[in-house]
Amino acid sequence: MKALIQRVKSSWVKVEDKEIARIGKGYNILLGVMQGDNELDIEKLIKKIINLRIFPNELGKFDKNVVQVGGEILVVSQFTLAAKCKRGNRPDFTEAMPPQEAKRLYEEFVTKLSSYIAVQTGEFGAMMEVGIINDGPVTIGLDSKEL
């Protein structure tokens, strides 16, 4: 499971020009579910996301996590994080989990993450417009297989 975490001042999602989710300070997380991912990947990723200290303390050093700063999280499904671009110029997405299986794990991720912090979501499988006002910018990539 791959997550691209962006520290944001605010973030929102629109589907068909209608805003469906919005958060203030916190994380915009683009989440890709890969072949072979399971509940253990969810647990490892959530533990790291919740405890990741990428908000500044009073001295400006990264020292606080999203919960400590009263943040929120917007999770957006993003199968393109599975892209392999080694050969040719068209990305290969064969490492992405098939949509029905991926949706189940995506929803489980959101449910478990919601037990720690306020979470909004995009719409799984929809064409979305994602708005982000970066804070920093600070962007961190995580792969559950490397945690």
Q: Which two tokens stand for residue 22?
A: 């919005």
Beta strands in 55-127 (DSSP E): 55-56, 62-64, 72-77, 119-121
pLDDT band at residue 140 using 50, 70 and 90 as cut-offs: very high
Mean pLDDT of the chain: 98
Collapsed DSSP state (helix, strand, coil) of residue 7: strand
User: Which residues carry out catalysis?
Assistant: 80
| Topology adopted by domain 2-146 | D-tyrosyl-trna(Tyr) Deacylase; Chain: A; (3.50.80)
* Distance of alpha carbon 66 from alpha carbon 88, whole angstroms: 39
Where is 100: in which H helix or E strand? helix 99-113
pLDDT reported for residue 107? 98
Overall pTM > 0.75: yes
- The domains of the chain are located at 2-146
* Distance of alpha carbon 50 from alpha carbon 76, whole angstroms: 17
* Distance of alpha carbon 30 from alpha carbon 12, whole angstroms: 12
For a pLDDT cut of 70, what percent of the chain falls above it? 100
pLDDT reported for residue 84? 96
